[in-house]
């Protein structure tokens, strides 16, 4: 194949894959940013760069998510390493982080728990923005915990403790001021699991029983044992699960129950406060 310039490589790629995907893959191969591509259209790719780009293009055409091909994804104000062991962090989840940060005064020390941390997107972002807080992050998958650990190290996060285990199982007697979670919430028979990026993501990060509510149910049931008085629980959930979450929170005597819309106006995060009768 003739040597290709940056603009020729992109023009070829645009015929087969999404433009942003093509750009991200070429940036990855060249270890460059978008501005470099724009300002160096005539730069010639080496044979090795051309081969690598063409391999990545091929795998993208087979459906492999861009984040798994580049090994990273931007989330909030961080760039996180990701691999096939973790869910690719979604922009919707930034809403959960924003709501959590609103509940934690910047100068205060609080105990915060993130259940099902995956890459650590939620736990690490909160830990970074609230350095006086102690954040605990739990995941059932040791491989996910390893990704979270490496992200925490790369980002110099000191106030994060990692726990491998199921939900609250390894946290006997521990209490938190705020519990957050983006648990699996897709119904096992949801056809979306066989489509797009979801086909390549870990089933244990996505599937949650017949109606998609089994993990949410387990978390809401046990959360009261692990919240201090006036502590909050915030959960991300599916587009049609806000009412069911509200109902479950009510059954466990949470107050100030509320749901919050994402940028598309879809209720994405629900939560409540636990006020003990003293």
144 binds ligand SAM (CB under 6 A): yes
80: contact with ligand SAM by CB under 6 A? no
125 part of the interface to ligand SAM, by CB under 6 A: no
How far is Cα 18 from Cα 20, in angstroms, rounded to an integer? 6
Residue ranges of E strands in 118-184:
134-139, 160-164, 176-181
Stretch that binds ligand SAM, among 61-69, 101-109, 118-126, 226-234 (CB under 6 A): 118-126
151 forms part of the interface with ligand SAM (CB under 6 A): no
How far apart, in whole angstroms, are the C-alpha atoms of residue 24 and residue 99? 30
Among 204, 228, 244, 258, binds ligand SAM (CB under 6 A): 204
Contact status, residue 256 vs residue 227, Cβ threshold 8 Å:
no
Q: Which is nearer to ligand SAM, 106 or 165 (CB)?
A: 165
Nearer to ligand SAM, 182 or 270 (CB): 182
SS3 35: helix
- Give the Cα separation of 256 and 25 in Å (integer): 45
Chosen residue from 49, 93, 151, 270 binding ligand SAM by CB under 6 A: 93
Tell me the three state secondary structure of residue 59.
helix
Check binding of 136 to ligand SAM (CB under 6 A): no
Q: How far apart are CA 190 and CA 71, in angstroms?
A: 27
Among 97, 112, 160, 205, binds ligand SAM (CB under 6 A): 205
CB 217 within 8 A of CB 245: no
User: Where does this chain bind ligand SAM (CB under 6 A)?
Assistant: 86-87, 89, 93, 115-119, 121-122, 138-141, 144, 166-167, 182-184, 204-205
């Amino acid at each position: 194949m003739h040597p290709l310039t940056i603009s020729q490589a992109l023009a070829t790629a645009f015929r087969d894959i999404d433009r942003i995907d093509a750009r991200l893959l070429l940036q990855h191969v060249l270890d460059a940013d978008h501005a470099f591509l724009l300002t160096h259209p005539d730069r010639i790719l080496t044979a090795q760069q051309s081969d690598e780009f063409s391999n990545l293009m091929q795998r993208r055409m087979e459906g492999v998510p861009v984040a798994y091909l580049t090994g990273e994804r931007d989330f909030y104000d961080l760039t996180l390493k990701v691999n096939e062991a973790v869910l690719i962090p979604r922009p919707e989840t930034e809403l959960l982080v924003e709501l959590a940060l609103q509940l934690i005064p910047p100068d205060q020390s609080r105990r915060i728990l993130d259940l099902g941390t995956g890459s650590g997107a939620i736990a690490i972002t909160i830990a970074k923005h609230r350095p006086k807080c102690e954040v605990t992050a739990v995941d059932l998958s040791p491989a996910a915990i390893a990704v979270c650990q490496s992200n925490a190290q790369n980002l110099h996060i000191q106030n994060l403790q990692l726990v491998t285990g199921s939900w609250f199982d390894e946290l006997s007697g521990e209490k938190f001021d705020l519990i957050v979670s983006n648990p699996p919430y897709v119904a096992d028979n949801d056809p979306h699991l066989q489509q797009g990026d979801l086909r390549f993501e870990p089933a244990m990060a996505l599937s949650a029983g017949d109606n998609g509510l089994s993990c949410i149910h387990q978390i809401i049931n046990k959360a009261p044992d692990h919240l201090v008085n006036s502590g909050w629980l915030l959960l991300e959930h599916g587009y049609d699960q806000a009412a069911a979450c509200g109902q479950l929170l009510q059954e466990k005597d949470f107050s100030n129950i509320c749901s919050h819309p994402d940028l598309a106006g879809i209720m994405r995060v629900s939560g409540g406060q636990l006020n003990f009768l003293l």
